[in-house]
Amino acid sequence: MFMRIDHVGIACHDLEEKIAFFERTFDLTVVARETNEEQGVKEAMLHIADGEGGGSYIQLLEPLGPDTPVGKFLAKRGEGVHHVAFGVPDVAEAMREIGGRGVRVLDAEPRHGTLGSSIAFLHPKDMGGVLTELVQAPDTGDAAP
Query: Which residues are at the interface with ligand MC0 (CB under 6 A)?
Result: 9, 36, 39, 41, 43, 59, 61, 69-70, 72-73, 76, 82-83, 85, 106, 113-114, 119, 121, 123-124, 129, 131, 133
* Nearest distance, CB of residue 98 and ligand MC0, angstroms: 15
* Nearest distance, CB of residue 59 and ligand MC0, angstroms: 6
Measured CA to CA, the distance from residue 90 to residue 87 in angstroms comes to 9
Nearer to ligand MC0, 24 or 70 (CB): 70
Nearer to ligand MC0, 24 or 76 (CB): 76
Cα torsion through 10, 40, 129, 21, rounded to 10? 10
Secondary structure letter of residue 5 according to DSSP: E
* Nearest distance, CB of residue 29 and ligand MC0, angstroms: 18
Measured CA to CA, the distance from residue 142 to residue 116 in angstroms comes to 10
Give residue number: closest CB to ligand MC0. Answer: 113
Nearer to ligand MC0, 36 or 56 (CB): 36
Report phi then psi at 14, rounded to 5. -130, 100
Are 85 and 119 within 8 A, CB to CB? yes
